[in-house]
């Protein structure tokens, strides 16, 4: 399963997974892509992957083996019903796996910030943290800071666009949080 705040964001992750399946003869022979319901089905294993969004009512009773929480940094406040439903539902599995892929939350009191702080404390050996951040001593408008915080810079993140956004943020501090 994958979770996102909106149907559109959930569709992005689903579309990427569906594309990988279509490009692989092995996977496309084993997995059916159902576009309308944003579902992937493997009949042989009896497994289903669904893209869920927080703007749809979360369904209780799900018991996922794997969940990818996409852009959890957009959750405002310390709680997300969809996150809670999926994480608590995975407790019935012997070895569940959850992955969070996201940019940082805007506020230290938001859910993702709490999760990062908990992972950084290393109090749970099952949790692994891969966090890309710039050293606070760096000028946030420097390319060195952008590179440290964005490993995709120059790969698929357009450096010219980041420069333009940084210049906008320099002129209008309210735009600083929008920087990648």
Residue-wise pLDDT tens digits, 39-75: 999 999 999 999 999 877 667 788 999 999 999 999 9
- Predicted confidence at residue 62, as pLDDT, reads 86
Number of structural domains the chain divides into: 2
Same domain, 48 and 7: yes
| DSSP strand pairing (39-42 vs 47-53) | antiparallel
Q: Residue 43, exposed/middle/buried by CB under 10 A (0-12, 13-18, 19+)?
A: exposed
- Asked if residue 180 has pLDDT above 70, the reply is no
Same domain, 69 and 103: yes
Q: Give the domain range for residue 96.
A: 2-131
Tell me how far apart the terminal alpha carbons of the chain are, to the nearest angstrom.
Answer: 26
- Predicted confidence at residue 58, as pLDDT, reads 66
Same domain, 96 and 127: yes
Residue-wise pLDDT tens digits, 124-134: 999 999 999 99
* Residue pair 157/164 in contact by the 8 Å Cβ criterion: no
Same domain, 120 and 45: yes
Same domain, 137 and 127: no
Chain CA centroid to CA 77, Å: 17
Same domain, 65 and 111: yes
- Asked if residue 143 has pLDDT above 70, the reply is yes
**Last residue of one domain, picked from the residues 90, 116, 131:** 131
Same domain, 90 and 175: no
Query: Residue 95's pLDDT band (boundaries 50, 70, 90)?
Result: very high
Same domain, 42 and 89: yes
Which tokens hold the place of 48? 């289903």
- Asked if residue 178 has pLDDT above 80, the reply is no
The Cα-based distances of 132 to 15, 103, 104 in angstroms read 25, 9, 10
Same domain, 40 and 77: yes
């Amino acid at each position: 399963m994958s979770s996102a705040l909106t149907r559109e964001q959930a569709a992005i992750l689903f579309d990427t997974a569906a594309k990988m399946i279509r490009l692989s003869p092995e996977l496309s022979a084993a997995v059916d892509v159902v576009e309308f319901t944003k579902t992937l089905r493997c009949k042989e294993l009896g497994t289903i992957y669904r893209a869920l969004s927080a703007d749809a009512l979360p369904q209780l009773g799900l018991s996922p083996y794997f969940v990818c929480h996409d852009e959890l940094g957009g959750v405002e406040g310390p709680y997300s019903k969809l996150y809670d439903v999926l994480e608590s539902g995975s407790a019935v599995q012997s070895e569940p796996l959850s992955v969070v892929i996201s940019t940082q939350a805007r506020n230290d009191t938001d859910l993702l910030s709490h999760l990062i702080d908990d992972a950084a404390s290393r109090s749970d050996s099952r949790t692994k943290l891969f966090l890309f951040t710039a050293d606070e001593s760096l000028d946030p408008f420097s390319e060195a800071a952008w590179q440290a915080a964005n490993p995709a810079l120059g790969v698929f993140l357009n450096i010219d666009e980041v420069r333009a956004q940084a210049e906008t943020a320099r002129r209008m501090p309210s735009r600083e949080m929008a920087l990648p």
